[in-house]
Every structure is written in structure tokens, then in C-alpha cells.
Amino acid sequence: MLREKRIEKGYSLRRFAQQVGVSPTYLSQVEQGNVQPPTADRVKRMAEILGENPDEWISLAGRVPEDLPEIIHSHPREIPELLREASGLTAQQLQRLREAARKMKEEER
């Protein structure tokens, strides 16, 4: 997927690697699936350069966005329970849940 999007956006391997801050050899190995996925931070950078959703790409790489562990640790009981309850909801239902959470936060201000 990375290679496909990189080419689609007109980036050469060398130019894209330079922008991400990795070697072209390493990037080639990542694209071929010959090495472990990059860190969440690097995946985020790649997604941003390509105009893709960083959270989605980090997840596809088998990583966790860097801010989530702190969020989970701040409410070690409630956040896992919330995630388990939300598991199985449709994308539309999750969007509504997210909007409801945003409204609750705004009401607190």
C-alpha cells in the first residue's frame, strides 16, 4: 500500500525516503515487507506526506498512536471498558459516539 500511494503521489523512492528521514534501501525493504514496520512516528510522517490518515496507517502497520497509551493510563478502567463496548459498532455508530464525546467535552468548558 505504501509503494502504491507513494507512486500515485509521484514520489521517487529516493525523494520519499529523504522526506521521511530514512534510507532508500530501508524504505524499499519496508515496501517489500522484508523488515518490521517503521515506528508509529515514522508511519505518521509517511501518511502525512502522502495525505493519508495517520491513525489508520499506524494501525495498518500494527502500531499504536503514541498518545493512546497515556490516554488509557489516565483512566485504566474506563477506557478499556469503553473500547470493549464500542467494539463491533459500525463506522457510522462510532462517528456518532465520537461526536457525543466531543459535545460532552465542550459542555464541560
pLDDT in tens, 29-84: 999 999 999 999 999 999 999 999 999 999 999 999 999 999 999 999 999 999 99
Domain of 86 in residue numbering reads as 68-108
Residues 57, 64: Cα–Cα separation, whole Å: 10
Cβ atoms within 10 Å, residue 27: 23
Shared domain check, 87 and 54:
no
Shared domain check, 87 and 42:
no
Shared domain check, 74 and 54:
no
Shared domain check, 82 and 42:
no
- Interhelix angle 13-20/24-32, rounded to 10 degrees, is 100
- pLDDT at position 10: 96
Shared domain check, 37 and 16:
yes
Using alpha carbons, select from 18, 68, 63, 17 the residue that is nearest to residue 2.
Answer: 17
Shared domain check, 48 and 95:
no
Q: Is the pTM higher than 0.85?
A: no
Cβ atoms within 10 Å, residue 43: 26
Shared domain check, 52 and 6:
yes
Question: How many domains does the chain divide into?
Answer: 2
Shared domain check, 52 and 9:
yes
